[in-house]
Amino acid sequence: MSETMGLRLLAVDQEDLSVISAAVQDGVCKPIDLVFEAKRHRFHLEFNRFRWEMKRDVSSKGERVRSVLSFDSVSSVKSRGLPPKHEDLVLSLLSVEWIADDEPPGGKIRLMFAGDGELLISAECLDATLLDISQPWPTRNRPEHKD
């Protein structure tokens, strides 16, 4: 039986964001799912998150759930090594990191993707939210990482 209660996490410092980073590792999305709303000073991405927090029996590969990761107080977003929005490629999120400015509370949020893709989000402060927005479903593939 799978746990149906989804994650609802907030981050206001690096320690909080490290929890979110662990939860979103191996989340998959398409370039069109990366959205910067400049007038609202908000960046968000919708993606299929692997549920690392769930215990699995030996016969199960695990579950995925549709999630939204959002950042508020955003002033700009820069990308490197990511395909254009119109491309139908799948991106795999590896990590999320906070890089504080010399003068707090501002800084940058770095989202790293497989294949060396990167988003650098400038923000007035760290204000991140991770919400699961669907019921989970079984997945045939469990992400694996080589040492």
Q: Quick: pLDDT tens for 60-89.
A: 789 999 999 999 999 999 999 999 988 899
Nearest to 109 by CA among 89, 129, 132, 91: 129
Could you tell me the pLDDT band of residue 59, with boundaries at 50, 70 and 90? low
pLDDT in tens, 13-27: 999 999 999 999 999
Cα dist from 35 to 51, 70, 87, 99, 121, whole Å: 23, 9, 15, 21, 12
pLDDT at 147: 58
